[in-house]
Structure 1
Amino acid sequence: MSEAKAQSLRQSQSTLHTWSGLLLGWLLFAVFVTGTIAFYREGLNRWMRPETAPIADPMRVVAGAQRYLQDKAPDAKSWSFYVPDRDAPGSVVNYRPQPKAGESGGGRRRNQTLIGAEGKPVAARETRGGEFFYRFHFDLYYMPVIWARWLVGIAAMFMLVAILTGVVTHKKIFRDFFTLRRGKGQRSWLDGHNATAVLGLPFHLMITYTGLVTLMVTLLPWAASAAFDKHSDFYDALYPEAPAVERANKPAPLVDLTALVRDAEQRLGGAAGHVEVTDPNDAASRVTIHLAMRSQLSSRTPKLTYDGTNGKLLWRSPPQGGASVTAGAMIGVHAGRFGDHWVRLLYFLCGVAGSVMVGSGLVMWTVKRREKLPDPDKPHFGFRLVERLNVAAVGGLPLGIAAMFWANRLLPVGMAGRAEWEIHCLFLAWGASAILATLAPPRANWVALTSLSGVLLAALPFYNLVATGNGFFAALARGDGLIAGVDAALLVFGIAFLAIARRVARHKPAGRRVRRRDRAIPAAAMAPAE
C-alpha cells in the first residue's frame, strides 16, 4: 500500500474513531465505571452493610437458612437461597407461597431476609450494595430493561469500532505509550489517552466483545427464533431442568440441606452456588443445587436434583454443546467471577484504565477542537454543548457515586425505601452536576466537581473509623482484608480526585498557536521591488 493510500486510510479511520467514541461516549463512560466497580460487588455488598460479620463457615449459613425457612414457611411452594462465599455479607433467603386457586405455579417471592455468618437473621440496613453497579452497567435505571440493554449493546458496538479504528489510526501508538509529556495541552491528553488504551488493549477488546456476547440473545434474537418454534423451547434447551413432579400432599421431613450441599460439591467438583427447594416437607419435594459461578470459567454451571425426603440423586444436567460452552466461557471471562483476588484486582485496574481511556478521549475531543476554532474564547453552540456534557458525565458520575456511599452511611437504618433512596441520591447529585455544568464555566466546574468528589471519597474511611466500628484498622485486626481494601481504595481515589482538581486549578493554557495562513506577512516582503 502506498504512503498516500495508507494516510487516506488512517484519516478515514480517525474520523470513524472520533465519532464512534464521542456519540455514545458519555454512556460508555458510565458503563465502564460501574462495570469496573462491579468486579468487587460482593465486597461492596458487605461494606455497605457494616452490621454484618465475615463468614468463616458457609455451611453454618446454609443450616441457618434451612432453620429459618422451616420456621417461617414450612408449607411454601419453594425456597431459594445462595451458598455464600467468604466475601459475601450472608445469604439472602426467600420463599414462594403455594399458589391460590386458579394460579399456575407459586405466588410472588416474599420475605427476603439476610442470614448472617452466625446462621441467624441479621438486622442489616436495606441496600442494593454492589449489585446496583452490576445491574446498572447493562440494565441502567429508571427505564425498561429491554430498552436499556439495546442501548448498552449499541454503545458496546460503538466501543468495539472505536478500539479497532484507534489501533489503525495511531500508527505510532505503541511507541507513544512510552512517551508522556506533561503540561503540553492537547499532546498531554493524547499521551494519557494512548497510554491507558495500550496498557489495557487486550482487556478492552475482550471486555467489549464478551459484553456483546452477554447481550447476544437481545441483539440477535433471530437465530433462536429460526431454530426453535417457541422462545421457551430455546431456554429449556439452554437451561435444562429436572422433570417436574406434582405435589403429593403427604407430609415428609426435609433432609439436611448441608449434607446435600456437601455431596453436590463433591460430585460437581467445586463450591455450590444456588439452592432451590420445591414443595419442602412434602413427599414429592425436590432439591436442586447449582455449581457456583466462581467454581469454573463458564457462567453456565451444571446442577443436580435430589429427592428432598431421602437425599437420593435423581437427575444431573446433561453436557452442554459446543456453542453453549463457548458462550458461557465468554460470559464467564467477562464477569471474572472465576478468578482469585489477584485476578480480580487485575480486572479492576484494567477497568480503571478503560474508564480513564474513555474519559480522556471525551475531553481530548474538546481540547483538540478548541485550538482549531476561529475564536477559541467564543466557541459555537455545538462545542459548548459537548464541553458541558463532558463535565456532567465525566465529572458528575464520581460525585454521584460518592453521594450514594454517604447516603448508605447517613440515611436512617429503618427508613422505608432506603435502598431506592441511596440510588436516588446518586442520580440527584449527578443531575445537580449537569445543572451546574450549564451555569458555570467548564474549568470552574471541573475543579469544583473533582474537589468535592475527592473530599467525599477520602472522608468515608475516616467516618467508618469513628462511626461504624468497622473501619480500616478494625478490619485489619480481624484479618478482613476485603473491607480494609474498600476503605483503602476510597482513600486512594479521593486523593487522586483532589490531585486532579489541583492540577486543573493550576493549569495555565498555552498561548494560541498561530496558523501559517494567519501569520502576518513581513514588512520586507510587502516593500516594492527596486
Structure 2
Amino acid sequence: MSKGFRQSQSTLHTWSGLLLGWLLFAIFVAGTSAYWREALNRWSRPELARIESTDRVVRGAVDFLSRKAPDAQSWFITVPTTQSAGADLFWVPAAKPGEERRGRRSRRDNSAFVGSDGQVGTARETRGGEFFYRFHFDLHYMPVIWARWIVSIAAMFMLVAILTGIVTHKKIFRDFFTLRRGKGQRSWLDGHNATAVLALPFHLMITYTGLVTLIAMLMPWAIVANYSDGAKLYATVFPQAPVAERADRPAPLTDLIPVLHDAERRVGGTIGHITVFNPGDAAARITLTRAGKSMLSARTPSIAYDGVTGRMLWQAPPPGGAVETQGVMVGLHAGRFGDYPMRWLYFLCGIAGSLMVASGLVLWTVKRRERLPDPARPHFGFRVVERLNVGFVAGFPIAMTVYLWANSAAAVRAGAARRSGDQCDVRRLGGGVPLCARAASGAGMGRAAGAAGGVAAAAAALQSRGPADGTVRNGRAGRLGACGSRPDPARARCRVRLRRMARPSFPPEGAAPSRPHGPAGGELGAGRMTVVAFLSALGALALLALASDRHRDRWHGIDPRWRRSAGWALVAFTFVAGFAAWGPVYGAIGATGLLMFGAGVSFLTLNLTRR
C-alpha cells in the first residue's frame, strides 16, 4: 500500500512540476531579481546623483507641487532612501464646477520625479528593476487579471510538486548532502534534490505566501459571507483617516519636515509615503504611512495631521489577528523587512529555487531519453519538451541580460514615451535566440515543429502587447459600483481601496529599515549574538553533513552518532541565539536563514573537495 501511494505521489510530482514548469522558472527568476528592485532602479539611471538628504528631496517635492498643482485634490509623495533614485510625485487634479469628467488621464500628465537636489529631474524613461518585479506576477504583456490567475494556478502546481516531492523522496535527510558528479542521470537527480532540500523552508514559504497575496481573488467566499458592504471590509483591512470636505478658504500648508519626523517617532519607524488632501485649503489633511522596509507586516500603519496647524488628528488602530497574519505573510514573501544580509539570503534561495525547477525540467528529458526505442530520433512530444527547456532555461536569463544591456546602451532622452516599451521588446527578441539556434542546429520538420512550439509557449507569457508605461489594467467591472454615488474625493479613495484587493498587497518601497533587537539589548549585544548564531549554524550543518552516509568517512575522530547529536544540539542553540539577537519573530526567521546558509556552505565545501 505504501509503495503504491509513494509511486502515485511520484507521478503527481513529475507532472505537476512539468506542465507549468517553464512558467514557474520564469516567475522564480524574475521574482529573485526583484529582490534587488531598488538597486536595479538606481543602476538604470546612472545620470542621477546619490540622495544624501531625504528632507531636501521632500521639501523640493512640496515646492514643486505647490507651483504645479496648488489647487489639486490630493498629492502623493514617495519618501526616498539613500538607495532610491529619487522621489516619485503624483497628483489628482480637482474637478472644476460644471466640468464633465473626461476619459482616464495619462499618468504622465500628473506625475513627476524629484532628484537628490530637490529639483524635478530629467532621467531616462526606463522600468529598471520594476519590470522584473511586475513580471513575476503580472507577466507584463497580457491582461493583469488573466496573468494573476495563471500565476496563481502555477503556484498551486508548485506547492503540490514540493509536497509530493517530500513524500516521494524516501531518504530526504540521509541524502541531504549528496552530490555524485559525472554520473549522468544520478548527478542531475542529486542536483535537483540538493537545490530543493537545502532551501526547502524558503520554497515552502515563498510558494504559500505567494498564494496568500492573492487570497481575496482566489478565495473570496469568506469576504462575501461576512461583509455585505464592501466599504466595511476595506475600512477593516485598510483603515483610512477621515478627510474633510474642501472649505474653499485658502490657508498655507504647514512645513512637512517636522510633521514627517513626528510621524516617524509616533509610528515607530520610517515613513514610506505622504499623501496631502486639499492642499492650500483650510481643510487640508496630511496622511503619512510607515515604510514597508521598517517592519515585517505589509499592513503598515498610517497617521494623519491637520495640514494647516500640523496637529495630529488620527492614528490607525492596531490591526486584528487575521489582518496581521495576512500582512506578515505578504511581508515574508516580499522580503523587504531585512537589511542586505537578509536580502542576499532571499536572493540565494531564489537562485536555488530557479535551479531546482530548471534541473527538474532537464531531468525529465534525461531520464526518459534512456527509455526511448531510438534515443537519436525521439518522438514529437519529447522534442517539444526538450526545446521548451532550451528556450526558457537558457532564453529567459539571456533575455534579461539583453534587457539590461538595452537600458545601458540607449542614450538619455527626455520624455521618450516608448523607451521602456522598446526595452521590453528587445527583451522579447533576446528570449528567442536559443530557440532559433536550437531549431537551426537540427534537421527535419520535427525539430522545426518543436522549436515552433517553444516559441508559441514563450509568446503566451512574453509577447502579447500591452501598455508601454507600465500602468496596471485590472478587470474590475462591477466592483467599483459601490463608489459611484460618493463625492469625488471619497469616490477616488474608495476606488483605490477596491483595487488593492485585486493585486498583491506588497508595501511600497520606503526608507531604510530600522533594525529590531531582542533581549540582548543594544547594537553591540545584538551584533555579538548574531555572530554566535552564524558560527553555531555553520558548525551545526557541518557536523550533520559529516554524519551523513556520503561523508561519514571523512572524520574518524568522532563517532557519526555523536556528530549527529552535536549537530542537532547546535541547531537548537542557533535558534536560541537568534531569539536573543533579534527577538522571537525575527529570530526564528534569521535562524532558519542562517541554517540554510550553513547547509549550502557545507554541501558545496564537502562535495567540491571530495575526490
Alignment of 1:178-217 (within 5 A): 178-217=177-216
Which residue number in structure 2 is paired with residue 121 of structure 1?
Answer: 120
Cα distance in 1, alignment partners of residues 40 and 60 from structure 2 = 23
Structure-2 change in CA distance of 1:116 and 1:437 (3 Å): same
Residue 41 of structure 1 aligns to which amino acid in structure 2? Answer: R
What is the rounded CA distance, in whole Å, between the counterparts of 1:246 and 1:108 in structure 2? 26
Determine the structure 1 residue equivalent to 2:556: none
Match of 1:57 in 2: 53
- Identify the residue that residue 91 of structure 2 maps to in structure 1: 95
Give the structure 2 partner of residue 279 of structure 1: 278
Length-normalised TM-score, structure 1: 0.80
Cα deviation, residue 94, structure 1: 1.8
**Residues 47-90 of structure 1: CA deviation (Å, up to 9, x unaligned):** 11111222222112111111111122111111111111221111
Question: How far apart are the structure 2 equivalents of 1:281 and 1:89?
Answer: 28
Instruction: For residues 471-509 of structure 1, give each alpha carbon's deviation from its aligned partner in whole angstroms, at most 9, with x where no partner exists.
Output: xxxxxxxxxxxxxxxxxxxxxxxxxxxxxxxxxxxxxxx
User: Aligned equivalents of 1:441 and 1:315: distance in 2?
Assistant: 69
**What is the letter of the counterpart of residue 90 of structure 1?**
G
Label 1:377 to 1:105 Cα distance change in 2 as closer, same or farther (>3 A).
Answer: closer
The alpha-carbon deviation at position 407 of structure 1 amounts to: 0.8
| 1:326 maps to amino acid | T
2:377 maps to what in 1? 378
Matched residue SS, 1:172: coil
State the distance in 2 between where 1:82 and 1:142 align.
27
Equivalent position amino acid for 2:31 in 1: G
| 2:399 is the alignment partner of 1:400 | yes
Secondary structure of the structure 1 residue equivalent to 2:314: strand
Matched residue, 1:362: 361
SS of the residue corresponding to residue 94 of structure 1 reads: strand
Distance 1:308 1:108 in 2: 28
Aligned to 1:411: 410
Matched ranges for 1:98-113 at <5 A: 98-100=94-96, 101-103=99-101, 109=107, 110-113=109-112
Q: Is the 8 A contact 2:243 2:277 kept in 1?
A: no
Aligned equivalent of 1:76: 72
1:320 aligns with 2:316: no
For residues 269 and 12 of structure 1, do their structure 2 counterparts lie closer, same or farther at Cα, with a shift above 3 Å needed? same
How much has 1:118 moved relative to structure 2? Answer: 1.9
CA contact (8 A) 1:96 1:106 kept: no
- The alpha carbon displacement at 1:126 in A equals 1.0
In 2, Cα distance between equivalents of 1:228 and 1:438: 55
1:265 Cα deviation after fit: 0.1
Quote the residue 1:47 is aligned against.
43
Partner of 1:343: 342
**Per-residue CA distance 1:128-159 (angstroms, 9 max, x = gap):** 11111111111111111111111101100100
Partner SS, residue 318 of structure 1: coil
Residue 29 of structure 2 corresponds to 33
Q: Which residue, out of 19, 22, 30, partners 1:23?
A: 19
Q: Could you say what the CA RMSD is over the residues aligned between the two structures, in angstroms?
A: 2.1
- Structure 2-normalised TM-score? 0.70
C-alpha contact 1:285 1:308 (8 A) present in aligned 2:
yes
Structure 1 CA distance for aligned equivalents of residues 173 and 321 of structure 2: 36
Shift in Å at residue 165 of structure 1? 0.8
Tell me the SS of whatever aligns to 2:173.
Answer: helix
Q: What is the distance in 2 between the residues matched to 1:323 and 1:122?
A: 42
2: CA distance between counterparts of 1:329 and 1:253? 39
The aligned residue for residue 159 of structure 1 is 158
Give 1:29 deviation, angstroms.
0.4
Query: Contact 1:61 / 1:90 at 8 angstroms: preserved in 2?
Result: yes
Structure 2: gaps (5+ residues): 452-611
Which residue of structure 1 lines up, in the alignment, with residue 466 of structure 2?
A: none
1:232 offset after TM fit, Å? 4.2
Give yes or no for the alignment of 1:421 onto 2:412. Answer: no
CA distance in 2, matches of 1:209, 1:315: 35
Q: Deviations over 1:346-404 (max 9, x none)?
A: 00000000000011111111001101111111100000000001111111001100110
SS at match of 2:338: coil
Question: Could you give the per-residue CA deviations for residues 423-460 of structure 1, whole angstroms, max 9, x where no partner exists?
Answer: 121122213443444443499x99xxxxxxxxxxxxxx
| Change over 3 Å in CA distance of 1:239–1:353 after alignment to 2 | same
C-alpha distance 185-162 of structure 1, shift in aligned 2 (>3 A)? same
Structure scoring higher RCO (CA < 8 A, sep ≥ 6) equals 2
Runs of 4+ in 1 over 6 A off after TM superposition: 104-108
1:108 Cα shift? 6.2
SS at the partner of 1:351? Answer: helix
Q: Paired residue for 2:6, among 10, 13, 27?
A: 10
Partner of 2:247: 248
1:250-275 deviations in Å (ceiling 9; x for gaps): 11111111111111000000000111
CA contact (8 A) 2:40 2:129 kept: yes
Measured after TM superposition, the shift of residue 188 of structure 1 is 1.0
Query: CA separation of 1:437/1:112 partners in 2, compared to 1, >3 Å: closer, same or farther?
Result: farther
Give the gaps of 5 or more residues in structure 1.
447-530
The aligned residue for residue 221 of structure 2 is 222
Task: Kindly provide the amino acid, as one letter, of the partner of residue 67 in structure 2.
Answer: D
Cα separation, 2, equivalents of 1:362 and 1:107: 45
- 1:177 maps to 176
In structure 2, distance between residues paired with 1:364 and 1:305: 56
Q: Is the 8 Å Cα contact of residues 177 and 191 (structure 1) preserved in structure 2?
A: no
Equivalent position amino acid for 2:43 in 1: W
- Residue deviations 1:157-201 (CA, integer Å, cap 9, x gap): 100111111111111233323221222211111111111111100
Question: Given that residues 243 and 285 in structure 2 are in contact (C-alpha distance below 8 angstroms), is that contact kept between their aligned partners in structure 1?
Answer: no
Give the distance between the partners of 1:145 and 1:8, measured in 2 at CA: 41
User: Given the superposition, is the C-alpha separation of residues 53 and 191 from structure 1 closer, same or farther in structure 2, using an over 3 Å criterion?
Assistant: same
**2:292 corresponds to:** 293
